[in-house]
């Protein structure tokens, strides 16, 4: 197809769509970026869409493996979020990774594309991962600076307070649920000043839990999700090692019925 406008999504599991399962799609997920692309294409079929994001990628991998590939598509719009997997590591140089990030964003902007960048999520209320809240806050301030300097567009994920509700998150507590991806898609479209036909489902009532029940729930989460995640990090293994980009070439995303 000969697309006159082109949207390319870059990043890690956040942009790949993990947590929003759909076995009919590549890598078995859909995600907010697909949902944004669907709405954009429904409004104007001249748009093409590519999604190069792969779960588990660190910032340098996103920059080295995805930026040039995106530029080769002559993008009109690029969305990018990288650095979350770096922040979760035991040690990280926030200044160094954001300096590299700025180089990638500047390169994308020099291609003529509009570039949309995300801050990191406020994980302060999350068990274990909440310990990285301070790192994320520093990362976010530096990201806001490079967005302003490079005349990019910011989606302030940190300030999406609705997402503090656990019902917007998958059972692994790391990735968003389908409702979280839908809400994020609506927020992105708001920043793009686009209308949408996305209906975020009504959230089910949370069950009441006493302290003992919550501790049991946390222990089960640590055993089923946290333990394997830590094990992969110690072994240098990524959940995305055997995966390829979901939409490596420009296409129309599958449209909702």
Burial 161-188 (b: 16+ CB within 10 A, else e): eebeeeebbbeebbbbbbbbbbbbbbbb
Q: What is the structure's pLDDT at 227?
A: 65
List the CATH number of the domain containing 72: 3.40.50.1110
Tens-digit pLDDT profile for residues 215-244: 676 667 667 666 666 667 667 666 767 899
What percentage of the chain carries pLDDT values higher than 70? 88
pLDDT value of position 256: 78
The domain of 148 spans 5-200
Mean pLDDT of the chain: 90
Is there a domain that residue 96 lies in? Answer: yes
**Into how many domains does the chain fold?**
1
214 within some domain: no
- pLDDT of 181: 97
Model confidence at 168: pLDDT above 70: yes
Q: What is the predicted pLDDT for the residue at 237?
A: 67
Residue-wise pLDDT for 171-200, tens only, equals: 888 899 999 999 999 999 999 998 888 988
**For residue 220, what pLDDT is reported?**
74
How high is the pLDDT of residue 226? Answer: 65
Residue 130: pLDDT over 80: no
The CA-based dihedral angle spanning residues 169, 174, 178, 184, taken in that order and rounded to the nearest 10 degrees: 90
CA dihedral of residues 205, 188, 255, 74 (deg, nearest 10)? -160
Residue-wise pLDDT for 4-17, tens only, equals 999 999 999 999 99
According to the model, what pLDDT value does residue 127 have? 63
Q: Coil, strand or helix: which one is 255?
A: coil
Residues in the chain: 257
Which pLDDT score, from 0 to 100, does residue 21 have?
96
103 located within any domain = yes
From the list 136, 118, 109, the residue with the least C-alpha distance to 79 is: 118
Lowest mean pLDDT among 74-83, 85-94, 135-144: 85-94
Residue 178: the pLDDT is: 95
Establish if 253 belongs to a structural domain: no
Domain assignment present for residue 236? The answer is no
Residue 250 lies in a domain: no
Q: Is residue 58 part of a domain?
A: yes
In a domain, 11, yes or no: yes
The string of pLDDT tens digits covering residues 42-79 is 999 999 999 999 999 999 999 999 999 999 999 999 99
Q: Using CA of residue 48, residue 181, residue 60, residue 113, what is the dihedral sign? A: positive
């Amino acid at each position: 197809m000969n697309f006159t406008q082109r949207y390319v999504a870059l990043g890690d599991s956040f942009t790949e769509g993990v947590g929003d399962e759909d076995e009919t799609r590549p890598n078995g997920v859909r995600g907010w970026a697909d949902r944004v692309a669907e709405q954009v294409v429904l409004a104007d079929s001249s748009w093409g869409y590519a999604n190069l994001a792969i779960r588990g990628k660190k910032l340098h991998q996103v920059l080295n493996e995805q930026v040039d590939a995106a530029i080769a598509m002559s993008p009109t719009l690029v969305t990018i979020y990288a650095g979350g997997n770096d922040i979760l590591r035991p040690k990280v140089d926030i200044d160094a990774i954001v300096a590299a990030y700025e180089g990638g964003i500047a390169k994308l902007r020099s291609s003529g594309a509009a570039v949309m960048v995300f801050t990191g999520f406020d994980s302060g209320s999350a068990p274990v991962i909440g310990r990285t809240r301070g790192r994320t806050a520093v990362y976010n301030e530096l990201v806001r600076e490079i967005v302003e300097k490079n005349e990019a567009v910011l989606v302030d994920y940190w300030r999406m307070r609705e997402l503090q509700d656990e019902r917007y998150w998958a059972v692994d507590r790391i990735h968003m649920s389908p409702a979280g991806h839908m809400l994020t898609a609506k927020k992105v479209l708001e920043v793009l000043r686009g209308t949408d036909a996305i209906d975020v489902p009504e959230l089910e009532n949370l069950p009441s839990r006493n302290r003992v029940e919550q501790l049991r729930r946390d222990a089960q989460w640590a055993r089923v999700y946290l333990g394997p995640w830590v094990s992969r990090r110690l072994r240098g293994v990524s959940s995305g090692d055997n995966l390829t980009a979901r939409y490596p070439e420009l296409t129309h995303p599958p449209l909702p019925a």
